[in-house]
Amino acid sequence: MSEPRVLVLRAPGTNCDIETAGAFERAGGSPDMLHLYRLIESPKALHDYRILAFPGGFSYGDDVAAGAVVATELRSKLLPDLRRFIEGGGLILGICNGFQILVKAGLLPALDGLGERGDLTLSWNDSGRYEDRWVKLRVQSDKSPFFRKGDLIDCPVAHAEGKVVVSESSVIDRLREAGQIVVTYEAADGGEAAYPENPNGSVAGIAGVCDPTGRVMGLMPHPERNVDGTHHPRWTRDGLQVGGAGLRVFEDAVKHAASV
């Protein structure tokens, strides 16, 4: 089985590209890191890959709004190629700032079609400040190849604009019915998460969603920061030596990409 090629796309201000590429490599993929402008110059290069990743960071300093500049570039210059990539079975993952990019580009949640925006967006945390803490995620759906329903995953968040908000309550019903609410924040006792376990106040505790195909996935927490047991703050107490819980996200994506 050949190693699926992974394109990790970066822009000015991106700061999690190396960690994301490292997670995919550890999971068995073959990652390359590329600047957004190089892909805009040669969009056909996208089709040499099976997975496209938008890592975390602060693209363009979040000066306009988190992820907004890259999202505008995608919509105006790369949307047709992204559409063909998805239709051809390619996987797309957006983490933190990458999630913000995918939402603002209209690739998520895409309830009314790719490129259509307005159903869901990401706003300022209820706390009014940047949140950097570990959270628990419960996988609620098996629609996305990145996740297995029922799994519980520990990983950190690091964002100021991570609150999922929707245009109207019916959007939540549509997302839930379609299996597009993939991961939610979970309280330590297994119940519904309130602050700080839900670090931003996201409606319905949403931490990540996918598109109707399941192949485009975005989430605010950082699974690439828990791919080794020693990444976890309790690794000595809990005896975590090999493989962090976040590694499976990348392993499952690589395995899926290699099988199609």
Cα separation of 2 and 176, whole Å? 35
Q: Indicate which residues carry an active-site annotation.
A: 96, 222, 224
Look at the block and give the residue holding tokens 């994301």. 20
Answer whether 162's CB lies under 8 Å from 199's CB. yes
Answer whether 167's CB lies under 8 Å from 120's CB. yes
Q: What are phi and psi of 90, to 5 degrees?
A: -70, 150
Query: What pTM does this model have?
Result: 0.95
Look at the block and give the residue holding tokens 């996208």. 46
Q: Tens-digit pLDDT profile for the chain (260 aa)?
A: 589 999 999 999 999 999 999 999 999 999 999 999 999 999 999 999 999 999 999 999 998 889 999 999 999 999 999 999 999 999 999 999 999 999 999 999 999 888 777 799 999 999 999 999 999 999 999 999 999 999 999 999 999 999 999 999 999 999 999 999 999 999 988 888 999 999 999 999 999 999 999 999 999 999 999 999 888 888 887 776 667 889 999 999 999 999 98
Q: What spatial distance separates the first Cα and last Cα of the chain, rounded to whole Å?
A: 11
H-helix or E-strand containing 125?
none
Could you tell me the domains of the chain?
A: 5-259 (3.40.50.880)
